[in-house]
Homo-oligomer: A and B are copies of this chain.
Amino acid sequence: MKSRDHSRTPVRDALRVAKGAALPDPAASPVGPGKKAKALGELAAIRARLEELQEALYAEGVGGGRRSVLLVLQGMDTSGKGGTVRHVLGLVNPMGVHYAGFKKPTTAERRHHFLWRVRKQLPSPGQIGAFDRSHYEDILVPRVQRLLPATEWRARYAEVNAFESELVKAGTAVVKVFLHISPEEQLKRLRARLENPAKWWKYSPDDLDARAHWDGYQRAYAEVLRRTSTAHAPWFVVPADRKWYRNWAVARLLTETLTELGPRFPEPAFDVADELAKLDAVGART
């Protein structure tokens, strides 16, 4: 295993959940650009690097490599999970992206272990998986909505940690991002959805019910971050009131993770000189 190169992971270091520390201001820039124009400019440069890294990861997978990346996006309604997928994962080749959104479990899904549906959506070798909500909903929602006894959802912390440890051992780098917004920003965004018929599809009356439990969800998230931010699969808190900062930060987290992974184009499974000679012979006949 490569030793971590700290000089290359400043955003990971700055946004990683720290024991005992309060969450940052949702409108802050704890690291990186404080202005929109600068963030957008940097994003263009990140894009080139991210595309390169993703192509190498994909190629490594084609060549038999086992490694992959899983980006887990969590946050309150309107925190920008979908927008992050669009603006950050949208920077790279869709061939290498596997998106999975997890809604309220269906009756069929509820008859299985809560990780059953999640395992089916894991990225293949070479892929970047993006989870729009995830197995963390199975701790947060039963707790806040009082759907399960505390002993049951509490037992899931250990299950989730063991599951993610298994993923990491199998070659998946797990990047868990909590998109942190303020209740004021959520109110604005919910109103914007209701005022625009082209955004009605993003709105659900359940969003207001969840908002009524704002403090409960914040407490539930705080405990999730504390109990499941592990050395192998840390949580990152991204201030998400400003969309340009959120996109910049998640793109950087992905880039740093991929840089650390160091994907490599595979060795050829053929003799390059031989194939070039055959190609020349074919060319001469054309």
Give me the interface of A with B, judged by CB distance under 8 Å.
Answer: 55-56, 59, 62-63, 82, 85-86, 89-90, 92-95, 97, 99, 101, 130, 132, 183-184, 187, 190-191, 194-195, 197-198, 200-205, 208, 211-212, 265-268, 270, 272, 275-276, 278-279, 282-283, 286
A282 to B82, CA, bound (A): 24
Can you tell how many copies of this chain the complex includes?
2
Complex alpha-carbon distance, A86 and B183, angstroms: 38
Dominant secondary structure at the A interface: helix
Instruction: Say whether, besides A82-B95, A95-B132, A205 and B265 are in contact (CB < 8 Å).
Output: no
Given B94, B190, B265, which contacts A94 in the complex, CB threshold below 8 Å?
A: B94
Tell me, rounded to whole Å, the shortest Cβ–Cβ distance linking A100 to chain B. 10
A-B contacts, 25 listed (Cβ < 8 Å): A59-B201, A59-B202, A62-B201, A63-B201, A85-B93, A85-B95, A86-B95, A89-B94, A183-B286, A187-B283, A194-B275, A194-B276, A198-B265, A200-B266, A200-B267, A200-B268, A200-B272, A201-B265, A201-B266, A203-B268, A203-B270, A203-B275, A204-B270, A208-B282, A212-B282
CB distance from A147 to the nearest CB of B (A): 23
In the complex, which residues of chain B have a beta carbon less than 8 angstroms from the beta carbon of A198? 55-56, 59, 265
A90 pairs with B94, CB closer than 8 A: yes
- Knowing that A85-B94, A95-B132, A204-B270 touch, tell me 20 more A-B residue pairs with CB under 8 angstroms: A56-B198, A59-B198, A59-B201, A59-B202, A85-B93, A85-B95, A90-B92, A90-B94, A97-B97, A183-B286, A191-B279, A195-B276, A198-B265, A200-B266, A200-B272, A201-B266, A203-B270, A205-B270, A208-B279, A208-B282
